[in-house]
Structure 1
Amino acid sequence: MRNRTLACVVAHPDDDAYGVAGSVALYADDPDFRFILVHATLGELGDIRDGFPATRQTLGSIRQAEDEAAWRALGRVPDRHEWLGLPDGGVADVPFDDLVAAVARILAEEDPAVVVTFGPDGIFGHPDHIAIGAATDEAFARLRSEDGPGFQRLAHGAVPQTVFERWNRQRAELGLYTFDPTQTYHMRGIPDEQIRITVDCREVASRTVAGLREHKSQLHVMSDDPTNTVQWERRLRREWYTIAWPERERDAPMLTDLFDGLD
């Protein structure tokens, strides 16, 4: 049997909504596909907009429920969904070996063919993103071997620099604030040549947006206009990844999905 197990390790509820939701939707009806999702935190330090019925004490459980509802709305719930319960905003303060062990325990039990997490940029430079990404990379390195069907690819979600610049130009034209990649919590791009996987998600963009809409507590953070479905679907037409392992030749053709080229 083909190993079509995908493990996604992220920091907060809604990181996954943008990270791999399109790829998961594309494989939703594949009988071989298995989806493992790991969240480091409940996102309890997220923003609480005026009038939203949440408190600092309840936001974490609300965001957890929203994330689970999002996958139901998309139409493909994780086969295994783990919440590590680490402190939001404090993942980088957890002893690194403890963080690696927490991720490795789950990955070892599941033996995924592909693992997706954050790269060193964290996409937004968020310390939680960077810490859980580094721990996942280390867990992958400790577990992979030349034998067996698991741990064939380690991928990092990313935004190509040219796409980042186009989005920033569009934001400026609309009078919105622009991202400053030198600042923490601001989006940043990576050189286009580092992108090794580009997934065409147009046919499932509406399903991805349906999932995003379930993150009701954070809609004001996730989009400048949550009512603009067309804009959201346009932004979700592609997902991009670098390949952290194995090393891929610079002139190798672009891959088209997370399992492309694997046995």
Structure 2
Amino acid sequence: MTGPATPAAERPVPDGGLLAVHAHPDDETLATGALLASWAVAGRPVAVVTCTRGERGEVIDTPSHRTGLARLEGDGPAFAAHRETELSAALAALGGAPGVVEHVFLDAVDLSDAQRAQVGPASDRRFEDSGMAWVAPGVAGPADDAPATAFARVPLDDAAARLAAVVRTRRPAVVATYEEQGGYGHPDHVRAHDVTVRALELAADPDAPVPGEPWAEAALWRAVTPSAALRAGRRSLGAASAAAELATRAGLTFPDPDEDLPPLAHHDAELDDAGPHGLERVDVAPVLDRVLAAMRAHATQVQHATRAPEAGADDALLGWYALSNAVLAPVLAQEHYLVAPDTSRSRVTAHPAPVGSPR
């Protein structure tokens, strides 16, 4: 295990703002929902940057989860517009009201003249979803037909310079995103991680062609999950009678607790080595209703978001949900983040990214 958890009352939200960087609508909820909601409840500034609109994702529209929106799958512009509305509703749920969690699409951030000169003609393009294919249980790989405008192909400094401008404007205490492998190998997630690391370097560099005053005070929080907690959550999920009834009724399956886990799952010993200041825990129970409501807002992407019967603060399994793969996933009691202070961020150099992407 990752050592004794500090009681929630002894884990105050840090001073300053939070900025979360995600590849597609719904990622902010699935990866960092409790973090965002907790900061909003504490009255701290909270903002989300979304890198694409998830144009190439699948649409859930089944007898047990009818959205009536199957027609949007494959219609990039129409689906993008709809996912923007889902994202707005999810952020309002996490924040407790519209506007509490602020939002910006990365491609809507203006570049300076100096940045445009460096990036070239691609600087005005829209960042698009790169596509996604499931290559193993819980692991995504690239789509073969990702377009040239896919986020995974965007030059690193094109995207990073925009994000650096946001960092300098908002001057957050924490910037949260995926771990190095994007949670489950998703190319857009990997790119979002690399863009975030590079943006923090640019934001701190007084010589970088980024508008605003340099900002080097943000700690990088990378979303991870202790492997033991994830396996235990899957076992508890498989033993939950209410989940079994749902699975039978809705045609869902259960994950194998013993199968290989996605990259976001880290061995407990590795997390223990991070030290008391290298791992942050966020309790989900106090904001569970907000997180589940945000999941339900992403109706084309998330189905059957359910609170476990009588779920309480001391329970390891708080609920469950499923994505388009129709595999139930547990809502665990805590979110975990590996913390890299500004002095320990490793440099990410510009390089072509693999092609592929979102749900």
Please classify the TM superposition score into its range, dividing by the shorter chain length. Answer: 0.7 to 0.9
Deviation at 1:50, TM superposition (A): 4.1
- Count of residues paired in the alignment: 238
Deviates more, 1:57-66 or 1:238-247: 238-247
Deviates more, 1:77-86 or 1:202-211: 77-86
Q: Which amino acid aligns with 1:71?
A: L
**Is residue 307 of structure 2 the alignment partner of residue 229 of structure 1?**
yes
Deviation at 1:172, TM superposition (A): 6.8
Q: Is the 8 A contact 1:114 1:150 kept in 2?
A: no
| Aligned position for 1:151 | 217
Deviation at 1:38, TM superposition (A): 0.3
Deviation at 1:12, TM superposition (A): 0.6
Deviation at 1:119, TM superposition (A): 1.5
Deviation at 1:78, TM superposition (A): 4.5
Deviation at 1:73, TM superposition (A): 2.4
| Aligned position for 1:80 | 102
Q: Which amino acid aligns with 2:187?
A: P
Structure 2: gaps (5+ residues): 1-13, 63-67, 108-125, 131-149, 207-212, 245-252, 309-318, 322-329, 345-359
Deviations 1:162-199 (Å, cap 9, x if unpaired)? 123334545777752448658xxx56412223361111
What SS class does the counterpart of residue 297 from structure 2 fall into?
Answer: coil
Equivalent residue in structure 2 for 1:209, among 292, 299, 302: 292
Distance 2:61 2:263 in 1: 24
Q: If the length of structure 2 is used for normalisation, what is the TM-score?
A: 0.59
For the pair shown, the structure with the greater C-alpha radius of gyration is 2
Q: Which amino acid aligns with 1:81?
A: H
Distance 2:101 2:264 in 1: 31
Distance 1:105 1:121 in 2: 25
Structure 1: gaps (5+ residues): 221-225, 249-263
| Aligned position for 2:145 | none
Equivalent residue in structure 1 for 2:172, among 112, 122, 141: 112
Distance 1:153 1:170 in 2: 34
Identity %: 26
| Aligned position for 1:59 | 79
For residues 1-263 of structure 1, the aligned pairs below 5 Å read 3-31=15-43, 33-50=44-61, 52-53=68-69, 54-55=71-72, 56-57=74-75, 58-74=78-94, 75-76=96-97, 77-83=99-105, 84=107, 85-89=126-130, 90-144=150-204, 151-169=217-235, 176-178=254-256, 181=260, 188-192=264-268, 193-194=270-271, 196-220=279-303, 226=304, 228-230=306-308, 231-232=319-320, 235-246=331-342
Q: Residues 215 and 187 of structure 1: is their aligned pair in 2 closer, same or farther, counting only changes over 3 Å? A: farther
Aligned-CA RMSD value: 3.0
Deviation at 1:60, TM superposition (A): 1.3
Distance 2:42 2:237 in 1: 37
Deviations 1:134-185 (Å, cap 9, x if unpaired)? 1101111232379988633111111112123334545777752448658xxx
Q: Is the 8 A contact 1:158 1:189 kept in 2?
A: yes
